[in-house]
Amino acid sequence: MITGPVTMAMVMLAVSLIGSGTAMLRLGRARVAGGVLVLTGAGLLVACVLESTGLAEGARIALFATALLLAPLAVVAYPRFDVRSPVEFVVLIVVIAAGAMGALVAVRTSVQQAMVLIILLALIGLVWWRLEHAVGPDRWALSWCALGAGSGVLGAGVASFAAPNVSGAVLAVVLLCLVGPAMYVGAVHPDLVDVRGVAVHVVVAVTASVGYVAAFVGLAAFLELLAGGQPSVGVLGIIGAGLAATFQPARQLLRGVIDELLFGSRPDPLGVAGEVADQVGDDPLRALHVIRHAMVLPYVAVRMNGAVVAESGTEVMHTRVLALGTAHAAQAGSTHSELVVGLRPGDLGMSPADEQVLHLVVPLLAQTLRARGLAADLQSSREQTITGIEEERRRLRRDLHDGMGPRLSGIAFIADAALNSVRTDPTAAEGHLRFLRTETVGVIEDIRDLVYAMRPPALDELGLVPAIRQHASTLRSPDGAGIEVSVWADACAPLTAAAEVAAYRIVVEALANVARHSGASAASVRLTWAVEGVVIEVRDNGGPGSTWTSGIGLASMRERAAELGGTLLARPDSSGGVVIATLPRGPSVMIDP
């Protein structure tokens, strides 16, 4: 007979099953199993109603039909109902036959117990087989189902054994309320938490608790045999306190044993840091492989701006993200970079030791990424250099082909004409020779302009500062008056060829602007070698003026500075005009002490 407290517990179980099944049906997940869960809950409510109306035999049949037939069918149909598989078809037939027989012979306890055992073994085998063959969300759903059903059934069995009375039955039915929500979570939110980690914690807790109870009961029974009577409450309290002191160490030991049995051995985290530090090189992919294998991680990846740039292993559902930001000297130029670490099976989070290892590894990986970025920048710089060289060659080819080529061909024709007329018409030959000389001089000037455009000869003949002084000595204002120019420079080793040409061109253009536009009678040029590079400063005494209008000269100076990664500032001030350019040192710049 079903008592009042048990009826209330059954109503709770029915509500749990109906609510979980209805939610699964509404969301379109595991619909067959959800429908069977609703029928199971309804069957429990029918049994409770029949019992309350005095129809005990009908209530018994409804209860056993629900418990032995509908409830197992919900597990068989979860998460997908597919009878095309021979294994699932056989299990379905076994569950239906055993459940029907157990419900029909409800008065025979031995038959019911046998049918319950057959159904449990069939369901355990089915879930095990499905876990071995399922992938993706189905595997996670089955894990949740196994955890909920296993915990509920095991807890109910322990409660019935420990308290074979009404309180034990109530506790057993309440524990079965875990089954419906677990199946709902597995079908709708399988990635809520790592179910494998929850399973490990449950197994550890149950094993430790059972061991604790067994040890307590065993010691109490042993003392009862020795003393010839039941131990006193004080003795039992001392035994419980002593065993309680060993409960937490036993849990830790069991966690390590079960963790290793289920998921393999874990390395010593303190030794991992040294191993990773020795093997991490300049290849981020190799670095990730080293980190993953050394720490026995399922997945490691580096993301930049949300995109995966390197990864190792198979992506898992639960991960931990560590920033590779400025605090770890991350790759220059990346706005947001991070290390994604997949959690091991059975872990709900990173252990403190693993956290410490990762915080030691992250700076090494950040340096690897930075080295990779610098290598990419160097390659890009080389490509730009080669492109610039090829463009310059193309320009020279065009100038030679389109400019001097036709003029030289004309010179050859004029020479032929002079040769043909030198005997018959000396006057015409003389005219041809004069024109020939004029064209030759023009070609020589064009060649000189081409050479000068590539690199001023004065730089090779005199050096940067003397070449500037030589040019400054020829500076004249529009009315022909000379302009006094003082040139001062620190003592230093030569600049790179590109920086030297840029510095010379900027100074020449700045002095040309002084001569054309400022009306100054004096100017100064100062070259200073600072930490950021060579600083070029050109000033004149032309007096305060209005804001300068950017023209070809200013644009040219800015472009020359920008090509080398430098800066240029040009503006009027209280005493005249000032142009300040900063050019990077370049690899060959050395300060002369």
Mean pLDDT of 61-68: 84
Q: What is the pLDDT of residue 136?
A: 66
Percent of residues, the chain, with pLDDT higher than 90: 2
- Cα–Cα distance for residue pair 56/64, rounded to 1 Å: 12
Q: Which of 189-203, 248-262, 487-501 has the highest mean pLDDT?
A: 487-501
Give the whole-angstrom CA distance, residue 57 versus residue 40: 19
The answer, yes or no, to whether residue 337 has pLDDT greater than 60, is: yes
pLDDT confidence tier of residue 150, bands split at 50, 70 and 90: confident
Amino acid at residue number 375:
A
Residue type, 334: S
Bridge pairing between strands 307-313 and 299-304: antiparallel
- pLDDT top residue among 161 and 147: 147
Please give the pLDDT value at position 341. Answer: 87
Identity (one letter) of the amino acid at 302? V
| Predicted confidence (pLDDT) at residue 522 exceeds the cutoff of 80 | yes
According to the model, what pLDDT value does residue 431 have?
85
Q: Output the pLDDT for position 1.
A: 46
pLDDT score, position 84? 78
Give the pLDDT score at 331.
38
Whether the predicted pLDDT of 593 surpasses 60: no
Give residue 346's pLDDT: 58
Of 41-50, 252-261, 331-340, give the range with the top mean pLDDT: 41-50
Say which CATH superfamily domain 459-583 falls into: Histidine kinase-like ATPase, C-terminal domain (3.30.565.10)
Give the model's confidence band at 107: pLDDT under 50 very low, under 70 low, under 90 confident, else very high: low
The rounded distance, in Å, linking the Cα atoms of 63 and 57 is 10
Residue 138 sits at φ, ψ, to 5 deg, of -60, -40
Instruction: Indicate yes or no: pTM above 0.85.
Output: no
The answer to whether the beta carbons of residues 525 and 537 sit under 8 Å apart is yes
> Strands 319-323, 307-313: parallel, antiparallel or unpaired by DSSP?
unpaired
Range ranked top by mean pLDDT from 292-296, 427-431, 492-496: 427-431
Residue 228 DSSP symbol: T
In the beta sheet, which residues pair with residue 308?
303
Q: In angstroms, what is the C-alpha Rg of the chain?
A: 45
pLDDT of residue 546: 60
Residues 6+ apart with CB under 8 A from 374: 332
Task: Calculate the CA dihedral of residues 350, 352, 354, 356 and round it to 10 degrees.
Answer: 130
- Look at residue 325 in the predicted model and tell me its pLDDT: 55
Of 323 and 160, which is predicted with more confidence? 323
pLDDT over 70, % of the chain: 83
pLDDT for res 430 = 84
Which of 7-11, 272-276, 375-379 is most confident? 7-11
Q: Which residues pair with 580 in a beta bridge?
A: 537, 569
Is residue 184 over pLDDT 50?
yes
pLDDT, greater one: 318 or 436: 436
- Both tokens of 392, joined, read 């310059």
What mean pLDDT comes out for the span 536-546? Answer: 79
Exposed / middle / buried, residue 400 (Cβ in 10 Å: 0-12, 13-18, 19+): middle
What confidence tier does 259 reach under pLDDT thresholds 50, 70, 90? Answer: low
pLDDT tens sequence across 549-572: 667 778 888 888 887 888 888 888
Q: What is the model's pLDDT at position 39?
A: 92
Distance CA 527, CA 507 (A): 10
- pLDDT band with cut points at 50, 70 and 90 for residue 591: very low
pLDDT in tens, 432-464: 888 888 888 888 877 777 766 667 777 878 888
Q: What is the pLDDT of residue 279?
A: 62
- Alpha carbons 275 and 269: distance in angstroms, whole number: 10
pLDDT surpasses 80 at 514: yes
For the cut 50, the answer to whether the pLDDT of residue 106 exceeds it is yes
Report the pLDDT value the prediction gives residue 347, as an integer from 0 to 100. Answer: 66
| Biggest CA-to-CA distance, the chain | 155
Phi-psi region of 4 (alpha: psi -120 to 50; beta: other; left: phi over 0): alpha
What is the pLDDT, as a whole number, of residue 260? 61
Using CA atoms, how far apart are residues 475 and 470, in angstroms rounded to an integer? 9
- Cα dihedral 453→456→457→461 (10° resolution): -160
Q: How many CB atoms lie within 10 A of CB 455?
A: 14
How does pLDDT run across 200-233, given as a tens digit for each residue? 777 777 778 778 888 888 888 888 888 777 778 8
Contact assessment for residue 507 and residue 486, using Cβ atoms and an 8 Å cutoff: no
Q: Which residue has the tokens 């000033």?
A: 539
pLDDT at 326: 41
Q: Six-digit token pair at 370?
A: 């930075």
User: So what's the pLDDT on residue 22?
Assistant: 92
Element (H, E) at 109: helix 109-133
If one compares 218 and 355, the residue with the highest pLDDT of the two is 218
pLDDT of 491 higher than 70: no
Q: How confident is the model at residue 371 (pLDDT cuts 50, 70, 90)?
A: confident
Q: What is the pLDDT of residue 333?
A: 43
Query: What was the pLDDT predicted at 545?
Result: 63
The CATH code of the domain at 4-192 is 1.20.1070
Q: What is the mean pLDDT of residues 464-493?
A: 82
Mean pLDDT of 258-264: 58
Question: What's the token pair of residue 486?
Answer: 């003082």
Q: Are 302 and 337 in contact (CB under 8 A)?
A: yes
Mean pLDDT across the chain: 78
pLDDT at 429 > cutoff 70: yes
Q: What is the DSSP track for 145-202?
A: HHHHHHHHHHHHHHHHHH--SHHHHHHHHHHGGGHHHHHHHHHH-TTSS-HHHHHHHH
